[in-house]
Each structure stands twice: as C-alpha cells, then as structure tokens.
Amino acid sequence: MTDQEIILQLKEGHESCLVHLYAHLDKVKGWVLQNNGSEDDALDLFQEAIIVFYKKVMANEYTYKSKISTYLFGIARNQWLNQLNRRKKYERRVSPVGRQDRMEAPEVDLLENGDTPSLENYLKTALEKLGEPCKSLLEATVFLNIKMDEIAQRFHYSGARSASQQKLRCLKRLKNSLSYDVIMRLR
C-alpha cells in the first residue's frame, strides 16, 4: 500500500490500514537499540509516532513532504532524544557531581558484620542498583502512592501513560534483578 493510499484510507475511516505502518518498525527499533534503548522503548515510541501521525492526518495537518516512514522515524527519534535528555537532566539533579560509586548487592550468606542480610536491605540494594530515574520513580509510585499525572509532571514525561509505561519497564528491570531463592531465604 502506498503512502497516498494509506492517507486516503485513514481519511475514509479505515483505521485498519495502520497495520501497514508497522513495516517501518524495524528502522526505529534498530536506531533505539543503538542509542541505549530497548525493544519495548522502540515499540512504545513507534506507537506514539503512529498516534501523532494519525491525529495529524485526521486534522488535515499532515503535509506530505516526505515518506510516511521518514515522518514516523523522525517523530520517534525526537521523542527518544527528548527522553534521553530528561533522564540526563534528572540524573544530574539527583546525583552529586562525580559520584560513580554504586552499591553492590549484599552477600546473601553473611554481611560484613557477620549478620544475615534482611529482606528489606536486599530490596533496598536492588532499588539502588536500578539507578535513576527508576529508583525515584518506583519510590514515588509504589511507596508514596503518587498519582501518574503528578509523576508525569515531576519526572517530565509527556503524560500519565508514558509515566506508567516507564514504571512498568522499571518494575520489570527490578524483577529481573531479584532472585526468588534469595528472597525465600531472607523471609
């Protein structure tokens, strides 16, 4: 399906043609992966780009200056660069200058003082190892129960949905860093 056909189909109310746009996902995915992102990040960005494109077409604001694939890539690229800049700014505000020391995971058998680590300490250390902004984001959402709209403002996300997606990615990273066996031994 050509770009012109996709635009005509959308204007006629045939949203099913959006499926054809996913042929361009690999270009975005490759670029995001090369720039410190994950496949989930790429998919989120691409879906947001499709939404922007769809809204522009429906509002007759889309001007056909380049291929749709180039347009979608540009939107996703700009969104990813903005997200990386927000992360950098946040890390600079939160972390002292020159601080590179990260807490190591506690030894499960014995700590330096000879005691067995507590579950609470194990989880705190796992949160520390996540780094910013995940640590602060999870603390704000899980422990302080702050609403996603406020999180989006506080962490400079484009909206509550973006904040929620970032929270889910952070939770997934946290889950992958924890050991079920260790947790069961520490209980």
**pLDDT at residue number 99:** 38
* Residue 123 or residue 115, greater confidence: 123
**pLDDT at residue number 92:** 57
Over residues 72-91, mean pLDDT: 80
Confirm whether 3-90 and 105-186 share one CATH topology.
no
pLDDT-derived band at 116, boundaries 50, 70, 90: low
Residue 107 confidence (pLDDT) above 60: no
- Fold that domain 105-186 belongs to in CATH: Arc Repressor Mutant, subunit A (1.10.10)
Domain ranges of the chain: 3-90, 105-186
The whole-model pTM stands at 0.49
Average pLDDT, the chain: 79
**76, 45 contact by CB (below 8 A):** yes
**pLDDT at residue number 131:** 79
* Residue 153 or residue 187, greater confidence: 153
Over residues 19-44, mean pLDDT: 87
Long-range Cβ contacts of 152-158 (<8 Å, 24+ apart) = 155/86, 155/90, 156/86, 156/89, 156/90, 157/86, 158/48, 158/79
How much helix, strand and coil, in percent to the nearest 5, is found in the chain?
70, 0, 30
Chain segment 82-97, per-residue pLDDT in tens: 888 777 766 555 544 4
**pLDDT at residue number 108:** 42
**pLDDT at residue number 106:** 39
Domain spanning 3-90, CATH architecture: Orthogonal Bundle (1.10)
pLDDT-derived band at 118, boundaries 50, 70, 90: confident
